[in-house]
Amino acid sequence: MSGMFNNLKSLAGLMGQAGQIKEKIAQLQEALVRLEVEGESGAGAVRVVANGKMEVLSIRMDRPLLSALAGEGTDADLQMVEDLVTGAVNAALARAREAAQEEIGRMTGDLNLPGLDQFLK
């Protein structure tokens, strides 16, 4: 029975923080949109910029590097370029996830709300 009262007490504490939580979430969403990270592949032949909301903002390709890597433009060369783009996107999104988790921890550390990152999608 005391476990139930402790749960109710915790729930009441969260309800009391509802306004603060809503404000923190709004601030966090803004911070994640502004957060930008870069991923690359092919020694910089392909660079991808993503934000903390896992959105790809830009993809830049270094034409001389790609030409050196892709050669004559055969199907195999095209596959290599596609793989480089995929690798750069995945690298950028992995960095964005890490940076977003750090930002979430920094901004909500005092609230201790597990699973908060799921509400930001």
> What does the block give as tokens for 67?
């030409």
Rounded CA-CA distance 68/79 in Å is 14
Euclidean distance between CA atoms 25 and 55, whole angstroms: 18
Predicted confidence at residue 28, as pLDDT, reads: 87
The DSSP secondary-structure symbol of 47 reads E
Give the pLDDT confidence of 10-63 residue by residue, as tens digits: 666 666 777 777 888 888 889 999 999 999 999 999 999 999 999 999 999 998
pTM: 0.73
For residue 9, the model assigns a pLDDT of 65
Predicted confidence at residue 94, as pLDDT, reads: 97
For the segment 63-119, what is each residue's pLDDT rounded down to a tens digit?
Answer: 898 888 877 778 888 899 999 999 999 999 999 999 998 988 887 776 655 565 555
Q: Is the pLDDT of residue 8 over 70?
A: no
User: Where is 90: in which H helix or E strand?
Assistant: helix 75-108
99 Cβ contact partners less than 8 Å away, ≥ 6 residues apart = 35, 37, 52
